[in-house]
Structure formats: structure tokens, C-alpha cells
A and B are shown apart, each in its own frame.
Chain A
Amino acid sequence: MASTISAGRYVGQAVKRLEDPRLLSGHGRYVDDVQLPGMLHVAFVRSNVARGTIVSIDTSAALALPGVRAIYTGADLNPRVGMFWHTMMGPPPELGGQTPYAPLTPLAGGDVRFVGDPIVLIIAENRYIAEDAADLVEVEIDVQQAIVGWETAIDTDQRVHPGTTTNVGQEFPLPEGPEVDALFAGAPHVFTRRFSQCRATNVPMEPRGIIVHYDQYVGDLQIWAATQSVSEWKATSSRLTGVPEHRVKVVANDVGGGFGQKMMMTRDEAAVVMAAHLFGEAPIKWTEDRRESLMAANQGREEIIDVTFAVTDEGVLLGAKVFFWEDIGAYPASAGSTAGMAGAVFPGPYKFPVVLPGGSSVYTNTVGKAAYRGPWMMETVAREQMMDHIAYELGIDPIEIRRRNVIHADDLPYTTCTTMVYESVTPSETLEQALEMLDVAAFRTMQADARAEGRLLGLGVAIYIEPSAVAFGILSSDQAIMRMDNSGKVIVAMSTGNHGQSLETTIPQIVAEHLGCNIEDVLLVQGNTESSPTGPGTGGSRSAVVAGGAAMTAALKMKDKIVQIAAHMLEASPDDMEVTAGVVSVKGTPAKALPFAMIAPIAYQMPEMLPPGMEMGLEVTARFQPAGQYTWSNATHVCTVEIDPETGMTKILRYIVSEDCGRMVNPMVVEGQIAGGVVQGIGGVLFENMIYDEDGNPLATTFLDYLIPTAPEVPDIEVGHIVTLAPGQTGFKGMGEGGAIAAPPCLANAIHDALRHLGVHPTAFPLGPSQLLTMMNEAKQA
């Protein structure tokens, strides 16, 4: 099908975003913008200690406050829960599934397990009163020593979840055996490092938010939510409340970012659903404020990775052992380790003969772990830093060691040692393109000149292969429900969500391209379970691949029917028709033509004019399932930095990305996704650190302390493109997470390059000024 792929009238063009006039002028409609008659407001009383037993809860003073309508504790809501699990993850073992879950309850039960744990839910006439009431609730807690840090959690006999036998959520043991020992014993060089990255949080611009109205007379549960997946919210709400799923309606209008945090319903949101179901009288709204978002919304990234590489004298990889430790907090979205995924993709762009992965996820008395843009990305963080550490150990240039191990075009199709199959990837090509964009020789000269003056410049490289559009369970497919209305305009309904992926523009681009109409005649309806099909929503770099595939397939089906009708009316063969800009015409005879606006009324109103036997109407559906379990995209990041030797401050000089996401729907959107991910990656190395003290108190609960990069800290991000088509029909590859995956090791490697001649070899994030200056001081003393 590759012959059908080329830059078209819309696909491949940098079409300006159709949603921007609304969003940029401040007229987006987020959860907090939804105002309903009689709507009431929710505030939570949250734990201010990380671990302890609840002795008493006194709500009497709060209930007496005028304007307070209801107050619920765990004793009110938790016993009413039917089931609390996520469609995407599948049911827990006790219900016949395989997914380990933390013991999820909407509100804290007899004890609290992290600072921010919701204990009491207040419903009041406005948020001010609700917060006043929260101040009046008295909760007495018998405080216990918090379990903070994965090593503590493994060593202690205390349990984050009382009554359980271990603080380990899930464990994949590292393969052992004489063959493994022999491999490493016989290798010319074996190097071991421990890399770690600090905890980060997703920081959506719009925090969590949900409005729930249970109309007890009709029997409908109506929800407006800031979610990445309305299908997930619908099913979860049904399981929670027992309201039959077809009576649950979920709407997500504009959503201000998710980055994984809004894929699955969390406890706070579940508490609002349960409270609304119990309350029954009026819609209730919870808008998470920024302090709650930083203190209580699920977080990501706190990972420690032990890596052992065996290599030849020339730096050729012989094998690797890697063990992933994850601090998953108290109530992660799932207690499962992402080590399975991280291990499977660990070989990345290199020809490893063998990779042996293991991992362990560990509960602590901190906020639970969420998916965060590239949830498995610790493999790239470790692998790409390790390549530089080995290169320096062996006296080989870090670029050269990559060239000796990277997969080339003539290796394809390539099956990795972990059985991943690459048919269409370009790690070598992106590496060379990125290096050419930089001009490595010129930089090395500049670096040497600067070093002679005592200035510290460094160059970092990172390559990765992104497992986009992961296809398992509900994530395996998506559907497009396409209707052409009586006037010839097209509405396509999908399960996707609008939290920054530009689908309102890119899906119409795909439809207009393949149906042959104008883009302004196509409308995407998403984030609404009443009109959209059941599907995975938007996340995991899937929408271009899966939703795009469904939209393209539906458009081709629609086009086929329109062409048949037109051909019948024009007394021509369907094979002789062409479709352009919403007009079907006979090839070579432009006068013999019919616009969609004439064909559509015929399909709906004049059965006698349709080809014999054709069903009336213009409605098609198409469900698309990608060819493989992963659709691989890839990129190489290169950056240069200057570090102030006296202060440890890092300035990024240039940041370059060469990427291959296959056929691009909209290059501007691709570059925007890359830039956003890179900025998050920069944040994870230089600025962002969601740190806890030894008692489990979060120390970065405002933007004064949780530092996300702002415009002056971010360099121009230069992007180069290499286009090879994904296997299968569409040629699209997902690329939403890659920027955030490769940027951290790329930046860390640049810092390493700037400092290594001083004896500084960083392995742990953050690499802020204080950390770098301390390492420089220590190296000087050593």
C-alpha cells in the first residue's frame, strides 16, 4: 500500500490548528467552565501526615456551617463501592484478572497512607464554604513513622498497606544461571552502574476535575471530566456505583493536558462519583487546585536502575543485565512494575546479543505512581547514559561507540534479543542527520578552545526507539463512526480526547485527504460517550496510528459509496471517477461532475436514484487495529551545554532532534509534540524534583518549589525529519512520548561530557547547580 502514501493536499501539510482560535483566545471549555443549575462544590480534607491510624473524625462543626450540604467519610462511601479497577489494566486477580492493584478505596479507611490522602469529602454551596468547612473538620490521627524510600520499604517489617505481607507490588526476578555467569565472566570488559531519576509530576495545565450528577429519578449518571479516555471513565464509574454502563454518560470537552495522569480514574475522582451517587440531589463539582495537584495527584519517574554491560575491547555490546526499582507510592494507578515493558524495549537502537531484565515495584507512604509520558523510559535513561560511561572507560568517543552498535538499514528487518521486530526504523540515519545538523567537528573545536579558557562545554547524544501505539486489551483498536449529513458535510466520532494532541485538526486532515473533501467540511466529535464509540481514548502515542487508521479507513469506505452513487447517476464506471475538494467527476470530463452537497440528499431522500440494492444514507464505521503490537518510531537527540564552573549553572546551547515518525499528518504538530516532550525531559534533569522528607512530607507543593522549565530556560529546538513508512496501511508512527524519553539522557550526557575531564561522572538526577558544584568540589578534593 506504500504507493498510496505521499504528501497530499492535507496530509503532510502544516495545517494551522482548527482548535487554536478557541483555545488561544481563552474560550476553551474545561471542566471548571461548566456551570450547571443547582451545582454544588466539593473540597477534601486531606491527611497532613504520611502514615497513621485515624482515631476519630469530628465533622459536627463543619456540618453546622451554613451552606454545607453533605459531608462524607470513608465509612460512608467505601462500603458502597462495587468494584474499583481500570479497563485498560484489566481486573485484579481476585476477579479473574492478572493485574496487581493497590487496595483502592475512594477515601481513606481506618488509616492514612500519604500526605494528601483524602479523608473527608465536603459538599457545599461554593468552594469557599467547602474549604471553610474543611478547616472545621477535626481528624485525630495516631501518627506512625512513614515508610519513605524504596530501600526502606524493602527492609522494614512495617507495611504501607496494613494487613499485606510485603511492600513489593510486583517483582520480575533477574534471570540467573550458569550461562548468565559465563557470559559476563568471559567478557573482556564488564561495567556496572546505578542510575536514578528523581520523582516528577505530570503538571497538566488543567489539574484534575470532575462534575458528577446522579439523576436518581431518571437513573442516569452524567459526568463531565478532565480525562484522556471517556470510555475508561464510563466503565469505571459503572463498576464503582453499580449504575449500568449504558446509563453512564461521560463528556470530556477541552482538557488541559494529561501526560498520562488522566488515563485512569483516581481515588479522589472516584470519591466524587460515589458521593454524587449517594447524594443524588444535584450535580457536584470538584476542581483540583494546584496545591492538591502537586500534593495528591499521581506522579511519575522515581526509578533506580542497576545496569551491567559486557563489551569487547572495541566497545561492541555483548550483553546486559538490568534491574529496575520503582517507587510506586501508596496508591499507584496499578501496582504493576513497568519493568516488563522497559526490559522488552531496553535493547532500543543497538544490536545486543542478550539483555536480561528484572524489576521490582515498591510501595511507600508517598503519592502513587502515574503513567507519565513514556512510562517505561527509564530504559533509555539508563542505556544511553551507560553508553557514554562505557565509551569513556574504554577511551572511545561516545558517538563512535554508538556507530559500532547501532542498527543499520541493511540489518532490517531486525529482531531484538527481546523478540521485538523492527521492520522500518532508522536509528543510524537519525544519528547521522542530527550530528550533521550540529556540525560535531566545529563544536569539538569550540569546546577545546573554551576549555583552554576554563570554560566547560559538553556534547550529549541519545538514541531511542519508541514503542508507539502499544496494542493490547482495549488499546488494540479504535473506531471511527463517520456520517455525512444531508448537506454533504462530514462528522466523524471517535473515542479520542482533546488534551493537546491537535486531533481536531489532524483527524480532519486525514479524512479530508482520503475522502477528497475540504477540511472545513469535516468535524471531529470526541470525548463524548453518547456519540463516540468505545475505545482507548488518547494516550500512549496511539491516536495518529490507531485513530488515524480508523479515520482513514472510514474515509475510504465513505468515498467508495459516494463514488458508486455518483457513477450511477453520471452513467459512468466507478473506476473512472475522481474525487477532489468535495466534487466527484469523471476523469478527463470535468463537466460531468457532482458535488457531495448533491449526492448526500440523494442518499438520504431519493432511494430510486441509488444504485440497485444500495442501502440508503451515508454512514460508515471502521475499526482499525494496527499490524503489530508496537508501531516503532525513532529519533536521535543531540544537545550542547555550557556549565559555569563557579556556580554549577547549566545553559543549553543547542538542542537538536532528528526523528522518524513515518508519514507525518502535520509536521507542525509533530514538531510541537517533540518540543513539549523535550521541555519535560529538560525539567526532569535540571529543575523538577518532587522530593519528600524522611517523614513523608512533600517539599514541593507550590510552583515556588516545583520548578518546571519556563520559556527563558528552553533553547530553540531544531528538528530534522527522516521519513520511512510504518508497515501496514497508513504509514503513520506514533511519536507523542519520544521527546520526553530521550531528552533526559541526552542532556545528562552533555553535562557528563562537559565535566568528565574534571573527574565528574554523574549518574543521578537532578543535576541542578547545587548538585553539579558539589560534584566538582568533591572531584577537586579527590
Chain B
Amino acid sequence: MKPSSFNYHAPTRVEEATALLAEHGDGAKVLAGGQSLVPMLSLRLASFEHLVDLNKVEGLSAIERVNGHLRVGAIVRQAVAEHSADVAASVPLLSKALPHIGHFQIRNRGTVGGSIAHADPASELPAVALALDATIEAAGPGGTRKIAAADFFVSTWQTALADDEILSAVEFPVWGPGSGFAVEELTRRHGDFALAGAVVGVQVSGDTVTKATIGLFGVGPTPLRASAAEAALLSGADAAEAGKVAASHISPVDDIHASGAYRTQVTAVIVRRAIEAALKEARS
């Protein structure tokens, strides 16, 4: 379990990092917290001639309010975001999702941007970004562009980032009063990737649900939006009905931990539970 040899680059400016990526093309890989990449290198499941380490790049580790959004820099550690009062106040769903990632040692190193850029379909943060309609900021040699989360996750571990781009920040919308959020996931053990997971945000006015978002993870090749279930919820369906609608639109595959049929069946359950918890919070 020793990686094959690679050239290690530790740029300090975004332009330097993107120039290195442009120079080395798909022979280069961005290193952030290393919690997914390093094991893959050590198992020789992946090898790259060049690693471009973002950890020393300036300007990527801020958490700030910008234009009604919360902007989280690419290499903000998951543990920092988890314990940030700003995150808890502005984007509670992100706050609630973070403790589900691995173990605290992993979150001490892992980054918010790295998890989203890695685009593991069983991870929490890509589903949060998708559910909240976050905007991914991509920096390349020609400057930065913004990508809607809905367009960002292409397939398993594949994103809309070009070879010469880095994810430089993620902007999460801030919801108004009357909102509630919940994360429900089933894992074999504490800290494992989810067999099935759901992130839910709702906003209510009296008894009426005025806004609803449901993101699913671990049940498809990318994080999924349960749009039909959201629509059902907005049309007055209860949590159980919405859960069934969400489950009826997915076709997860089997692996050694659970069958696809299992994942489908429990998705209805966890979506229901997450909606109930989010509604409870919204109404409290």
C-alpha cells in the first residue's frame, strides 16, 4: 500500500495552481484534505504524475456572508465548518450534515470543497449542495465561473470541472424564517458511507409548506434531487406519501452491504423521517 511516485506541487496562489493543472492536464490531480485521494493512491487504484496541493493556497479558507449566500472556501476543513456559528446560523442543513461524515479525525483533515469536488454519490455534502441549489465557484486559467449544483455532478466521481479548474468556493443560499432542516441516513456503522441518505429543507407558513427541498445520497450514481416528492409535499402530501414518491423515482444498485431493493424501501422511510423532523423544526 505504497503509492507510485509523483511530483508534489504546493502553490500558494490560485493562478499558480490552475497554471499547473493546465500544464499537466489529466496527469495532475488536486489534493485538498486527502481523505479520499490518498487511500486511492496508496491502494494504487489511481496514480498521477503530479499532485497539486491546495493547502497552502491563499484565500481558500474563509467562511463569509456574500449577497445573501454563505460562501465557504474550498479548503475550509469540515471540522471548522461543523463548529462554525456562522454555518449553524446561515446554513443549518450543512451544519447538520457535517457530523455524519466519517469520524472526527477525518473531518479534521477533510475539506468541504474536497468532498463536493470528489462527488462521491454516497457522501453527504454533494447532496446538501444539490438540495440547497448551491453555486460552485470554479477557478481556471481564464478566471472564475459559477456552476449550479444541479449541473455540477455528472456521474460517480465526475463533475463539470475542467481538467485545469479547481473548485475554489461553494455558495450556499441562506433560507429565511420558518425553515426547518434534517439529515437522515442509514449506515452499517457509525461513520460509514450511507446505505441511503436524505437531506431535507422545508419552509412553512402556518400549516402550509411553502418551500421544500429533498436531496438523496447513496441511492444513485450522483446525489439526487427528489423533485417529485418535493412537489408532492408542496401540494399537501404528508411526509409518508412524499417518502414513497421519493422512493418510486430511484433505482439504486446492489452491493455487498445492501440490495438495491433494500435501499429503495428504506429511502421511503428516511425521507419520511427527515421531512417530519424538518417540519417539526420549522414549526417550532
A646 at the B interface (CB under 8 A): yes
A172 and B91 CA atoms in complex are apart in Å by 66
B186 touches A649 (CB 8 A): yes
B188 touches A707 (CB 8 A): yes
Partner of A128, one of B2, B256, B270: B2
B195 touches A704 (CB 8 A): no
Partner of B269, one of A646, A689, A700, A710: A646
B44 touches A135 (CB 8 A): yes
> Which of chain A's residues has its CB closest to B191's CB?
A710
B46 at the A interface (CB under 8 A): no
A132 touches B189 (CB 8 A): no
> Which of chain A's residues has its CB closest to B47's CB?
A135
Given A132-B5, A699-B256, A774-B259, the answer on whether A769 and B188 have CB atoms closer than 8 Å is yes
Partner of B189, one of A289, A700, A709: A709
A449 at the B interface (CB under 8 A): no
A588 at the B interface (CB under 8 A): no
For A649, the chain B residues whose CB sits under 8 A away are: 186
A647 and B1 CA atoms in complex are apart in Å by 36
Contact indicator per residue, chain B 187-230, by CB within 8 Å of chain A (1) or not (0) = 01111110100000000000000000000000000000000000
B266 at the A interface (CB under 8 A): yes
Partner of B190, one of A705, A710, A773: A710
Partner of B258, one of A132, A699, A770: A770
For A768, the chain B residues whose CB sits under 8 A away are: 188, 257-258
A707 touches B189 (CB 8 A): yes
For B35, the chain A residues whose CB sits under 8 A away are: none
> Which residues of A517-544 are within 8 A (CB) of B?
none
A705 and B39 CA atoms in complex are apart in Å by 14
For A291, the chain B residues whose CB sits under 8 A away are: 1, 43
A399 at the B interface (CB under 8 A): no
* Closest chain B CB from A733 CB (angstroms): 34
B104 at the A interface (CB under 8 A): no
A774 and B265 CA atoms in complex are apart in Å by 10
* Closest chain B CB from A115 CB (angstroms): 15
> Which of chain A's residues has its CB closest to B3's CB?
A128
A245 at the B interface (CB under 8 A): no
A769 touches B2 (CB 8 A): no
B157 at the A interface (CB under 8 A): no
B4 at the A interface (CB under 8 A): yes
A773 touches B189 (CB 8 A): no
* Closest chain B CB from A285 CB (angstroms): 14
B262 touches A769 (CB 8 A): yes
Given A128-B5, A712-B189, the answer on whether A702 and B43 have CB atoms closer than 8 Å is yes
For A135, the chain B residues whose CB sits under 8 A away are: 4, 44
B188 touches A687 (CB 8 A): yes
For B1, the chain A residues whose CB sits under 8 A away are: 289-291
* Closest chain B CB from A457 CB (angstroms): 19
For A423, the chain B residues whose CB sits under 8 A away are: none
A379 and B119 CA atoms in complex are apart in Å by 47
For B190, the chain A residues whose CB sits under 8 A away are: 710-713
A220 at the B interface (CB under 8 A): no
Partner of A770, one of B3, B262, B269: B262
For A290, the chain B residues whose CB sits under 8 A away are: 1
* Closest chain B CB from A751 CB (angstroms): 16
* Closest chain B CB from A3 CB (angstroms): 50
Given A132-B5, A289-B1, A291-B1, the answer on whether A647 and B189 have CB atoms closer than 8 Å is no
* Closest chain A CB from B278 CB (angstroms): 18
Partner of A647, one of B43, B186, B259: B186
Partner of B266, one of A131, A704, A709, A773: A773
A689 touches B256 (CB 8 A): yes
For B44, the chain A residues whose CB sits under 8 A away are: 131, 135
B2 touches A131 (CB 8 A): yes
Partner of B265, one of A289, A704, A773: A773
> Which of chain A's residues has its CB closest to B196's CB?
A647
A691 at the B interface (CB under 8 A): yes
Given A646-B269, A702-B43, the answer on whether A770 and B189 have CB atoms closer than 8 Å is no
B43 touches A774 (CB 8 A): no
* Closest chain A CB from B43 CB (angstroms): 6
A770 touches B186 (CB 8 A): no
* Closest chain A CB from B24 CB (angstroms): 20
Partner of A705, one of B4, B256, B261, B269: B256
* Closest chain B CB from A770 CB (angstroms): 4
A127 at the B interface (CB under 8 A): yes
A747 and B192 CA atoms in complex are apart in Å by 22
A687 and B44 CA atoms in complex are apart in Å by 26
For A702, the chain B residues whose CB sits under 8 A away are: 39, 43
A707 touches B186 (CB 8 A): no
* Closest chain A CB from B181 CB (angstroms): 21
B258 touches A127 (CB 8 A): no
For B265, the chain A residues whose CB sits under 8 A away are: 773, 777
A270 and B189 CA atoms in complex are apart in Å by 37
For B258, the chain A residues whose CB sits under 8 A away are: 768-770
* Closest chain A CB from B70 CB (angstroms): 30
Contact indicator per residue, chain A 175-194, by CB within 8 Å of chain B (1) or not (0) = 00000000000000000000
Contact indicator per residue, chain A 681-722, by CB within 8 Å of chain B (1) or not (0) = 000000101010000000110101101011111000000000
Contact indicator per residue, chain B 268-281, by CB within 8 Å of chain A (1) or not (0) = 01100000000000
Given A646-B266, A710-B191, A773-B262, the answer on whether A132 and B4 have CB atoms closer than 8 Å is yes
A707 touches B43 (CB 8 A): no
A770 touches B257 (CB 8 A): yes
Contact indicator per residue, chain A 638-660, by CB within 8 Å of chain B (1) or not (0) = 00000000111100000000000
For A127, the chain B residues whose CB sits under 8 A away are: 2
For A131, the chain B residues whose CB sits under 8 A away are: 2, 4, 44
* Closest chain A CB from B26 CB (angstroms): 20
For A647, the chain B residues whose CB sits under 8 A away are: 186, 266, 269-270
Contact indicator per residue, chain B 243-266, by CB within 8 Å of chain A (1) or not (0) = 000000000000011110110011
A646 and B273 CA atoms in complex are apart in Å by 11
> Which residues of A105-162 are within 8 A (CB) of B?
127-128, 131-132, 135
For A774, the chain B residues whose CB sits under 8 A away are: 259, 261-262
For A689, the chain B residues whose CB sits under 8 A away are: 256
> Which of chain A's residues has its CB closest to B188's CB?
A707
* Closest chain A CB from B4 CB (angstroms): 6
For B2, the chain A residues whose CB sits under 8 A away are: 127-128, 131
A687 touches B5 (CB 8 A): no
Given A127-B2, A647-B266, the answer on whether A769 and B186 have CB atoms closer than 8 Å is yes
Most chain B CB inside 10 Å of its own CB: which residue of A131, A290, A689, A711 = A131
For B261, the chain A residues whose CB sits under 8 A away are: 774
A700 touches B256 (CB 8 A): yes
Partner of A704, one of B186, B193, B259: B193
Please give me the 8 A-B residue pairs with the lowest Cβ-Cβ distance, nearest first.
A712-B190, A289-B1, A770-B258, A770-B262, A646-B269, A128-B2, A131-B2, A647-B266
Could you list 22 A-B pairs, sorted by A, with CB under 8 Å? A128-B3, A128-B4, A128-B5, A131-B44, A132-B4, A135-B4, A135-B44, A291-B43, A646-B269, A647-B186, A647-B266, A648-B262, A699-B256, A709-B189, A713-B190, A769-B195, A769-B262, A770-B195, A770-B259, A773-B262, A774-B259, A777-B265
Report B's interface with A, CB cutoff 8 A: 1-5, 39, 43-44, 186, 188-193, 195, 256-259, 261-262, 265-266, 269-270
Task: Give 8 A-B pairs besides A699-B256, A770-B258, A774-B262 with Cβ atoms closer than 8 angstroms.
Answer: A128-B3, A646-B269, A647-B186, A705-B256, A707-B257, A713-B190, A769-B258, A770-B262
